[in-house]
Amino acid sequence: MKKKTGTGLKIICLNRKAGFNYFFNDIIEAGIVLKGSEIKSVRSGKINIGESYAVEKNGEIFLINSHIPIYKEASFSNHNPYEERKLLFNKKEINKLIGKVNQEGFTLIPTKMYFKKGKAKIEIAVAKGKKQHDKRHTKKTRDWNREKARYFRKSS
């Protein structure tokens, strides 16, 4: 699922469920540390970040539960598909994120992964989980907007 956007970004993977399950407070771009076989597999576009999240360990931010499949052409130097991957932030950004996660109850959710100038980047959202009634309201407004668009299309 590679798409080229007008800004020079080549989108590899989107997390569409994140917008339905979370309220986004802030969105931050981060680099990601990948091994050789991982970046080859990412370039093929078969990555999944739907169930992943980011946590703080020893003053660094790591991406947990992201699936990058094994690259078949790499023999003995292959990687673990569910390995923790380090995200590249400034120290000031790390401290700000840790403060929000610890004090205000936010979580770090990846929303999309893309290539920017040949480098793999990941977009992390500082998010708060939606309750069931919030999800129902989101679904209701989305359906209403769809019906409204259909009505206007038919009338014109």
Q: How many structural domains compose the chain?
A: 1
Alpha helices in the chain (DSSP H): 17-21, 36-43, 91-104, 132-155
Residue 32 lies in a domain: yes
Q: With contact defined as beta carbons under 8 Å apart, do 2 and 92 qualify? A: no
Q: What is the per-residue pLDDT for 29?
A: 94
Residue 41 lies in a domain: yes
Q: What's the pTM?
A: 0.80
Token pair of 64 as six digits: 């947990």
**pLDDT, tens digit, 9 for 90 and up, residues 17-56:** 888 888 899 899 999 998 888 888 888 888 888 889 999 9
Residue 145 lies in a domain: no
Residue 63 lies in a domain: yes
Least confident of 71-75, 112-116, 146-150: 71-75
Residue 64 lies in a domain: yes
At 84, which CATH number? Answer: 2.40.280.10
Residue 135 lies in a domain: no
Domain limits for position 53: 3-130
Specify the amino acid at residue 83.
Answer: E
Which residue's entry shows tokens 């994120």? Answer: 97
Token pair of 130 as six digits: 């939606």
In 3D space, the residue among 87, 81, 78 whose CA is nearest the CA of residue 66 turns out to be 81
Residue 148 lies in a domain: no
Q: With contact defined as beta carbons under 8 Å apart, do 85 and 62 qualify? A: yes
Residue 103 lies in a domain: yes
